[in-house]
């Protein structure tokens, strides 16, 4: 079993260099399946996710786990070949490290050493189904089943005074043991300034590192100070002030910061003082109140309608990356009444059984009545589903999704004659047709302009291009496994099931090949 200490204890002086060398060596030997697809048209990439029907055998042991192969970049047909499922293996290890106590005096930061309570995130790549989560126990031990492959392993301590750490590991069928020993790293710290401080309610602050991993949340003290420990090599770091618990403060996001750039060894200070200061300065809260009423087409008040305010510009925050979204529900009389910072807001409404209206960039200052919002009922739509040869397609699923607030979906199945009926909003929607026989028609998406939506909407599937292959486990065909095809953006291209021989065949609706498109296979 491989045993590896990816992070050495970072001590005064040469510790930083030692740590850096260790990490570089890890990265140099690590697998990478994402770099090669960076410049490829993601809509033309095809990933194949295999979901076996039976994961656990008669002895209550895992016989197999879901697995992803690809990406492929087919130009006409796609023969995936034989997908060999792996029997599961495992990763385990211990997480130990330093918990810094920042208030103590002295040149070196005092800390306690021991097991670290942390979440373990194991990621093959973000487009894969081979992603796993684990949590350490009281001894700092973790373990997880997985499919042998290359993985990024992230340790996310539950205490923000312990840095997030990562390691890349190629795990073979024998499994792996990866121990993490996390040093105290450097501090990203600062003060949240607010006109009414001192505040009894602390502000919540977290970081997002260069890998997109979010740290635990730190709370400001009674003077508004916060601190989060980081390993500088995991940067740059974006600092996010979430505001207080009541949800009325805008979320402020810093520019990316690199602790190494703030103080270096040339400063004469030791590594324990490496870090970066990031302050947040909230302007004076300019209270505004937005109110209004929601009515249906019969002029009746409508209660229980979700109303979401999303700031497009906040007064006093012009030089900051500030975001705010507040959701309320109308009362029984259809009224809503919201206190929020002054600014411009997109106001969206999500009623049951009606179109979702939207007020774009409504100005909210002082007392701002938004008036009466009149709901439009859904439109009764009927139509037929056809295949590419213009034959009626019975048992096809028709699923129509609106974009924006709620992302509501309406779906039904066409009858034997291809007829379907749905109540749909007269807004922009995407209708997806899932054909009953994926050997002759492809899952097809059609964008519908809401302004053109009438009472009749016929839909036609694409003939698509053929993808085929088979699935084996230990040399035996794997029957009844669900095989899903997705593009590089994660959109489903089609689903099928392996037959008793483990074989599958499906039509995929892929975009046409452009002359300058790159390929990866």
**Which residues lie near another protein (CB under 8 A)?**
51, 53-56, 62, 65-66, 129-133, 144-145, 395, 397, 407, 409, 413, 434, 436-439, 480, 482, 484, 492, 495-497, 499, 505
Min CB(175)–another protein separation in Å: 15
Min CB(69)–another protein separation in Å: 15
In whole angstroms, give the CA distance from residue 252 to residue 320.
Answer: 7
Min CB(111)–another protein separation in Å: 31
Strand order in the sheet with 131-135: 131-135, 118-123, 149-157, 165-171
Question: Which C-beta is closer to another protein: that of 285 or that of 413?
Answer: 413
Question: CA nearest 508: which of 45, 53, 70, 144?
Answer: 45
Question: Which C-beta is closer to another protein: that of 20 or that of 466?
Answer: 466
Count CB neighbours of 274 within 10 A. 22
Question: Which C-beta is closer to another protein: that of 226 or that of 405?
Answer: 405
233-271: string of b/e by CB count within 10 Å (b at 16+)?
Answer: bbbbbbbbbbbbeeeebbbbbbeebebbebbeeeeeebb
Pairing of strands 176-178, 89-100: parallel
Question: Which C-beta is closer to another protein: that of 274 or that of 429?
Answer: 429
Question: Which C-beta is closer to another protein: that of 313 or that of 439?
Answer: 439
In whole angstroms, give the CA distance from residue 64 to residue 414.
Answer: 36
Look up residue 289 and give its two tokens: 């109140």
Min CB(146)–another protein separation in Å: 8
Strand order in the sheet with 459-460: 419-424, 379-386, 459-460
In whole angstroms, give the CA distance from residue 342 to residue 313.
Answer: 9
Question: Which C-beta is closer to another protein: that of 399 or that of 460?
Answer: 399
Question: CA nearest 131: which of 53, 33, 55, 65?
Answer: 65
Question: Which C-beta is closer to another protein: that of 110 or that of 436?
Answer: 436
Helix H or strand E encompassing 17: helix 15-29
In whole angstroms, give the CA distance from residue 264 to residue 17.
Answer: 12
Min CB(99)–another protein separation in Å: 26
Min CB(15)–another protein separation in Å: 34
Min CB(427)–another protein separation in Å: 18
């Amino acid at each position: 079993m491989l045993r590896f200490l990816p992070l050495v204890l970072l001590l005064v002086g040469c510790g930083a260099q030692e740590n850096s060398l260790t990490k570089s060596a890890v990265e140099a030997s690590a697998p990478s399946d994402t770099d090669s697809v960076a410049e490829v048209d993601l809509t033309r990439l095809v990933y194949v996710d295999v979901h076996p029907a039976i994961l656990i055998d008669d002895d209550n042991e895992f016989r197999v786990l879901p697995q992803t192969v690809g990406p492929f970049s087919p130009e006409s047909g796609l023969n995936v070949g034989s997908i060999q499922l792996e029997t599961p293996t495992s990763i385990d290890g211990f997480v130990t490290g330093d918990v810094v106590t920042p208030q103590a005096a002295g040149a070196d930061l005092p800390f306690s050493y021991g097991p670290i309570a942390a979440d373990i995130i194991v990621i093959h790549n973000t487009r894969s189904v081979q992603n796993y989560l684990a949590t350490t126990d009281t001894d700092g031990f973790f373990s997880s089943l997985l499919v042998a492959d290359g993985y990024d392993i992230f340790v996310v301590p539950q205490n923000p005074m312990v840095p997030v750490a990562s390691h890349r590991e190629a795990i073979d069928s024998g499994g792996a043991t990866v121990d993490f020993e996390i040093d105290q790293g450097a501090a990203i710290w600062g003060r949240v300034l607010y006109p009414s401080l001192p505040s009894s309610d602390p502000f919540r602050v977290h970081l997002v590192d260069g890998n997109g991993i979010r740290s635990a949340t730190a709370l400001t003290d009674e003077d508004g100070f916060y601190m989060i420990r980081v390993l500088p090599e995991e940067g740059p770091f974006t600092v996010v002030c979430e505001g207080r618990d009541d949800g009325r403060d805008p979320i402020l996001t810093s520019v990316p910061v690199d602790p190494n750039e703030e103080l270096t060894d040339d400063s004469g200070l030791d590594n324990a003082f490496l870090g970066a200061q990031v302050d947040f300065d909230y302007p004076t809260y300019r209270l505004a109140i937005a109110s209004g009423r929601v009515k249906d087409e019969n002029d009746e008040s409508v209660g229980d309608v979700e109303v979401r305010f999303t700031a497009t510009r906040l007064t006093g925050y012009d030089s900051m990356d500030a975001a705010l979204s507040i959701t309320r529900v109308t009362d029984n009389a259809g009224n809503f009444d919201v206190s929020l910072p002054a600014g411009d807001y997109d106001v969206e409404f999500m009623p049951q059984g009606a179109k979702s209206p939207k007020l774009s960039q409504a100005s909210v200052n002082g007392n701002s009545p938004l008036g009466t919002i009149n709901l439009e009922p859904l439109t009764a739509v009927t139509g037929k589903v056809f295949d590419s040869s213009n034959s009626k397609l019975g048992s096809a699923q028709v699923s129509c999704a609106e974009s924006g607030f709620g992302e509501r979906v309406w779906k039904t199945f066409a009858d034997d004659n291809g007829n379907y009926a749905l109540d749909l909003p007269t807004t922009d929607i995407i209708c997806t047709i899932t054909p009953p026989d994926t050997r002759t028609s492809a899952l097809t998406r059609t964008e519908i302009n809401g302004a053109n939506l009438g009472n009749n909407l016929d839909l036609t599937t694409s003939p698509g291009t053929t993808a085929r292959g088979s699935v084996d486990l230990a040399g035996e065909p794997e029957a009844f496994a669900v095989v899903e095809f997705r593009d590089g953006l994660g959109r489903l291209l089609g689903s099928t099931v392996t037959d008793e021989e483990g074989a599958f065949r499906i039509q995929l609706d892929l975009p046409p090949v452009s002359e300058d498109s790159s390929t990866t296979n």
